[in-house]
Amino acid sequence: MNKVSEMRDIIKGNAVVGQSGGPTAVINQSLVGVIESAAEHECIENLLGARNGVRGIVEGRFVSLNGLGSDLLERVADTPASALGSTRDKPDDDYCGHILDVFAKNNVRYFFYIGGNDSADTARIISDLAGKANYQLRVFHIPKTIDNDLRVTDHCPGYGSAGRFVASAVMGDDRDNCSLPGIKIDIIMGRHAGWLTAASMLARQDSDDGPHLIYVPESPVSENKFVEDVAEVYGRLGRCLVAVSEGIEDEAGTSWGEHITQTTERDSHGNIQLSGSGALGDYLAQLVKDKVGAKLGGKRLRVRADTFGYLQRSFAGYASPVDAKEARKVGQKAVQFAMKGYAGGSVAIRRKAGPKYGVTYFRAKLHDVARETKALPREFISPSGNNIAESFRDYAAPLVGRLPRIGKIG
Amino acid sequence: MNKVSEMRDIIKGNAVVGQSGGPTAVINQSLVGVIESAAEHECIENLLGARNGVRGIVEGRFVSLNGLGSDLLERVADTPASALGSTRDKPDDDYCGHILDVFAKNNVRYFFYIGGNDSADTARIISDLAGKANYQLRVFHIPKTIDNDLRVTDHCPGYGSAGRFVASAVMGDDRDNCSLPGIKIDIIMGRHAGWLTAASMLARQDSDDGPHLIYVPESPVSENKFVEDVAEVYGRLGRCLVAVSEGIEDEAGTSWGEHITQTTERDSHGNIQLSGSGALGDYLAQLVKDKVGAKLGGKRLRVRADTFGYLQRSFAGYASPVDAKEARKVGQKAVQFAMKGYAGGSVAIRRKAGPKYGVTYFRAKLHDVARETKALPREFISPSGNNIAESFRDYAAPLVGRLPRIGKIG
């Protein structure tokens, strides 16, 4: 990278900020970070919020973000889900060309897009098109995803809060399962990456605490192995708490969601959704009831499944303080990087070395963050493949913040 | 009631405390309240914790609760779900006779049972049997239920924390639904009583906020009316958030859970569970997708359902402070009432008159709390039957504590 050739003059003009993809508990922290920092720089004449991300840009739906009071901004920052609205649109070159036209017509010179790898890709395409058209535009991607699957950055804003929710939910659920013993299956978001499901391991404080088994998409498992694992734990402890990624796959690389469409009547109703549906949990509960029950000589088992669903990403009032702070910071940093004259990039987080948690922020290339994602590394998965290694605690604990303390009797 | 005839001398002996039924986030506060107060009274020689409620008593599984350190006790108090273990056993006269034998053999003179209406009934039977056998025993029921359906008391410990969870979840979910508009259905616990589902109304801060529709078992609804309601809101707002009690019934008094067994393949798998299963939510989502979609000219709708499941009762770290305090207090009060020489009763809460929230505690008769439950009064259900009246806010808001604040842009 040649810094000098990449640097350009600061230009006066308008700025647009948008939010994309699945919401998080702290995505508005990043929005407010952009608003605060943009207000400090005179070369940003007007800051416009695009309603529903890129969709609002092409449809001309903007809201002025100038001169908002700090009390309102703090309330917005604390509110889960995208305050500007979101979109699932994944723009191609044509769509992005349209966006660039809107920008040129409105003298938009700065674009800040808060989202995941798809949003980084949108930013990349727009940045490339602007370069080809010789239109001076600074394009910054601001990372956001509960999936924690963006490349380059150590972790993603939004993940800490979702992980905090998951760990606290599983911690309480494990106590529930201990007080009324049985087999409990918790389905956790993560279609391709197991980061969020892995955070359930933070619920364990003592060796017999659940989750006793953790399945992530990076470690495929057959139905037989799953049943054997559960039967082993249940036989040993008289109960079993299982955390399962919604994207769990079998050894042939087929998602278990596919099993459901093949083996139940539900396929006639249309697509199986992994989130916003209890289908996978109910399927696994039935599998365990039938097959683990049979293994244990026809024992009638108490089996329940909960699908944590959208609560993981949008529960109000339980964000991780560290996550909230970092989410604000990545928004501010995007504006600051743009003001330094960089043409574009994705804000990334680097963890400082040493025992005390701390981070620095840097600018990654859009190309390096766009499209592809980062799986949970093998080192964080226990050799058995059905659990998360203790080393993951060091990685994740600082991100979720202080968790509730558990007290037991006897 | 003749107080004088009911009073007896203080007797020296052992005490047993147990926990029963579905856990709550604060049921251990009540346990710790009993432990603390029992330690202050010399006539309680040993306090024994029954493992898994009445089941542990008949099986002789006890743990000593004497001399536990205050740090451990505070940690136990903050931990969701029953620290002593729970049970679903509903003892009859024979079972209770067995309990009484165990008590007599061990000179147990005080029994404190933390639970719902079934536990109050167990306490009632044991108390009656002791009276007939002329065995001096003080039996106190300590109220606990997220369902808030106990008679006599203004509200039940456990409800405030569950309501706090539900209100915060729905509040965040409504922002999520606003950022990615569609129809969202949230299934909330409450097989017979709508109190917990009603707490979802606390999520509303502005007039267009969800939940836009709230269905409770006390207000039956047909599938057609449900579909019409959702279509009306969606047509008006372009989105719709619906809160539904798991115990929702049609106008013939049949639970919707029954519809599912009649109309899907799921009945071959065994009983439909309302909690620990996503079946009802998935059923309603499909109903809405098909029928509301058809009403809107075959429009393909984004419909999702989440079943809040066990998280409502056992999520760690998000209890209502008021609820936690009151749960501790009812445990303490039970011991204090016993020490005053009353033969038995159920601790109940009376709300003080006036604008500032405050409560006093009193002793209700076991017979008046046992068995039957208290439905959500008609006055709290809107005349349309598909929502909760604003007057419910005054009732419920003090119980759940301060909720997150919401900020919106534009």
Residue-wise pLDDT tens digits, A298-326? 888 999 999 999 999 999 999 999 999 99
Chain B residues 308-337 with CB within 8 Å of chain A = 308-311, 313-318
pLDDT tens-digit profile of A2-23?
A: 444 455 567 899 999 999 999 9
- Residue A362: what pLDDT? 98
Nearest chain A residue to B273 by CA: give it: A304
Q: pLDDT class for A167, splitting at 50, 70, 90?
A: very high
Report the percentage of chain A scoring pLDDT > 70: 94
pLDDT tens-digit profile of A241-261?
A: 999 999 999 998 888 877 776
pLDDT tens-digit profile of A168-220?
A: 999 999 999 999 999 999 999 998 999 999 999 999 999 999 999 999 999 99
Cα Rg of chain B (Å, integer): 23
CA distance A218 to chain B (A): 25
- Residue A248: what pLDDT? 94
Active-site entry in A89, A118, A121, A147: A147
CA distance B305 to chain A (A): 5
- Residue A7: what pLDDT? 54
CB proximity list for A269: less than 8 A, separation 6 or greater: B286
DSSP E strand boundaries for A256-387: 303-307, 344-351, 359-364
Q: Do A79 and B175 touch (CB under 8 A)?
A: yes
- Residue A266: what pLDDT? 42
Q: Which residues of B touch A79 (CB under 8 A)?
A: 175, 404-408
pLDDT tens-digit profile of A351-383?
A: 999 999 999 999 999 999 999 999 999 999 999
Q: Do A304 and B277 touch (CB under 8 A)?
A: yes
Q: Which residues of A touch B83 (CB under 8 A)?
A: 175, 179, 407-409
Chain A residues 130-169 with CB within 8 Å of chain B = 168-169
CB proximity list for B274: less than 8 A, separation 6 or greater: B191, B246, B247, B257, B280
Chain A residues 14-53 with CB within 8 Å of chain B = 19, 22-23, 25, 28, 49, 51-52
Terminal-residue alpha carbon distance, chain B? 61
CA distance B2 to B7: 9
Q: pLDDT class for A1, splitting at 50, 70, 90?
A: very low
Structure letter (DSSP) for residue B199: G
Hey, what are A156's tokens? Answer: 């993603």
Q: Which residues of B touch A275 (CB under 8 A)?
A: 304
Statement: residue A263 has pLDDT above 80: no
Indicate the residue of B277, B310, B408 with minimum beta-carbon distance to A173: B310
* Prediction ipTM score: 0.95
Q: Do A314 and B282 touch (CB under 8 A)?
A: no
User: What distance separates the 2 farthest-apart alpha carbons in chain A?
Assistant: 76
Distances from the Cα of A268 to the Cα of A230, A264, B265, B286, B299, angstroms: 30, 9, 11, 11, 18
DSSP string, B106-144: TTEEEEEEEESHHHHHHHHHHHHHHHHTT---EEEEEE-
Structure letter (DSSP) for residue A40: T
pTM of the shown model: 0.95
Give the number of A-B residue pairs with CB atoms closer than 8 Å: 248
B123 φψ region: left (φ > 0), alpha (ψ -120 to 50), beta (else): alpha
CA distance A249 to A227: 14
Beta bridge partners of B310: none
Q: Which residues of A touch B51 (CB under 8 A)?
A: 410
Q: Is residue B310 classed as helix, strand or coil in its secondary structure? A: coil
CA distance B141 to B293: 50
> Which H helix or E strand runs over A73?
helix A70-78
Within a 10 A sphere around the Cβ of A206, how many other Cβ atoms?
A: 7
- Residue B269: what pLDDT? 36
CA distance A100 to chain B (A): 24
What are the phi and psi torsion angles at B344 (to 5°)? 175, 180
Contact with chain A for residue B261, Cβ under 8 A: no
Hey, what are A287's tokens? Answer: 């599998």
Indicate the residue of A273, A282, A410 with minimum beta-carbon distance to B63: A410
Q: Which residues of B touch A28 (CB under 8 A)?
A: 407
Q: Is A105 exposed, middle or buried (0-12, 13-18, 19+ CB in 10 A)?
A: exposed
Q: Is residue A115 classed as helix, strand or coil in its secondary structure? A: strand
Chain B residues 164-183 with CB within 8 Å of chain A = 168-169, 171-173, 175-176, 178-180
Q: What is the mean pLDDT of chain A?
A: 93
pLDDT in tens, chain B (410 residues): 344 445 556 789 999 999 999 999 999 999 999 999 999 999 999 999 999 999 999 999 999 999 999 999 999 999 999 999 999 999 999 999 999 999 999 999 999 999 999 999 999 999 999 999 999 999 999 999 999 999 999 999 999 999 999 999 999 999 999 999 999 999 999 989 999 999 999 999 999 999 999 999 999 999 999 999 999 999 999 999 999 999 999 998 888 877 776 554 443 334 455 556 788 998 999 999 999 988 888 888 999 999 999 999 999 999 999 999 999 999 999 999 999 999 999 999 999 999 999 999 999 999 999 999 999 999 999 999 999 999 999 999 999 999 999 999 98
- Residue B1: what pLDDT? 39
pLDDT tens-digit profile of A77-123?
A: 999 999 999 999 999 999 999 999 999 999 999 999 999 999 999 99
Q: Which residues of B touch A282 (CB under 8 A)?
A: 277-279, 282
Q: Is B221 exposed, middle or buried (0-12, 13-18, 19+ CB in 10 A)?
A: buried
Contact with chain B for residue A374, Cβ under 8 A: no
For the question of residue B92 being annotated catalytic, the response is no
Q: Which residues of B touch A74 (CB under 8 A)?
A: 407
Best A180, A205, A273 member to test B by mutation, with max B CBs in 10 Å, is A180
- Residue A274: what pLDDT? 55
| B363 neighbors B337 (Cβ within 8 angstroms) | yes
